[in-house]
Amino acid sequence: MTAADLKLKIFRQVDSLEKNHLEEVYGLLKNYLRGNKGLDEWNQLTEDQKKGIFDAIEDIDDGKGIPHDTVMTSIRRKYA
């Protein structure tokens, strides 16, 4: 497979993603391109901070989060 073929295959797969998955892939790609900088920041966190992040991810995966648009609408109403 040539580089052009691979780029086209990646483009087609990314192009077919729903918005939430597209944002996840973008985050992964961004972190990959940044290299180890993300790991350095992660390693500087305390164990409590890391646990808090994992707990928050689990809550979101369980559907316990509030969508960004909902929060922003509420804030705009309150402080408009």
**Which residues in the chain land under pLDDT 70?**
36-39
Tokens of 28: 């992964």
* φ, ψ at 41 (rounded to 5°): -65, -40
* Confidence (pLDDT) at 4: 92
Query: Do residues 14 and 6 lie in contact, with contact meaning Cβ atoms separated by under 8 Å?
Result: no
* Confidence (pLDDT) at 38: 59
* Confidence (pLDDT) at 36: 61
Q: For residue 56, give the nearest of 68, 65, 47 by alpha carbon.
A: 65
* Confidence (pLDDT) at 37: 62
Whether pTM exceeds 0.95? no
Tokens of 26: 């973008």
Tokens of 57: 């991810």
Name the helix (H) or strand (E) containing 41: helix 37-43
